[in-house]
Amino acid sequence: MTKKGVYNPEAELAKGAELTASSYDKTQGVDVTAGKITVGGRAGEVEFTGEAAGKGAGIEGTMNVWLSIFRYMRPDGTVNHVAGWNIALALKPGQTALDTARAFETYINAATRPYKAKASGNKNKAALTITYKEPK
């Protein structure tokens, strides 16, 4: 962390990770419904639909969520550099949309990264909401 500049809360709290997602499964889809996770608490969200065909060769049968690298200034003037994160999970044949959302929720919440996730929905259509949590 470095120290510089003047803290502008409105500008700094609007900074955050760009959220993107991609499905490499033949039958389970993903759509980004809220594409930015901000330091100020705005959540990002992806929506999974359908039942998975499952793992094939290479990346076939996987679901991927990416969070971009970003920086922001804290009120004390230090600059925090937040690393990007690429999460790829292999899907099982017959895995529901809610199963996929829960798998990402478990993975994200178990990690030491500054993000928390919550899954909701049903077997056909499920959402994964991701928020940024300032490290203590």
Share of the chain above pLDDT 90, in %: 88
As for how many domains the chain has, the answer is 1
* CA 47/CA 126 separation, integer angstroms: 6
Q: What is the residue range of 24's domain?
A: 2-132
Q: What is the DSSP string of 64-114?
A: EEEE--EEEE-TTSEEEEEPPEEEEEEPPTT--HHHHHHHHHHHHHHSSSS
- pLDDT, one tens digit per residue, over 13-52 is 999 999 999 999 999 999 999 999 999 999 999 999 999 9
Q: Is the per-residue pLDDT at 2 higher than 90? A: no
Residue 56 pLDDT level (bands cut at 50, 70, 90):
confident
* CA 114/CA 51 separation, integer angstroms: 30
* pLDDT confidence of residue 6: 85
Question: Which residue shows structure tokens 């017959």?
Answer: 94
* pLDDT confidence of residue 65: 98
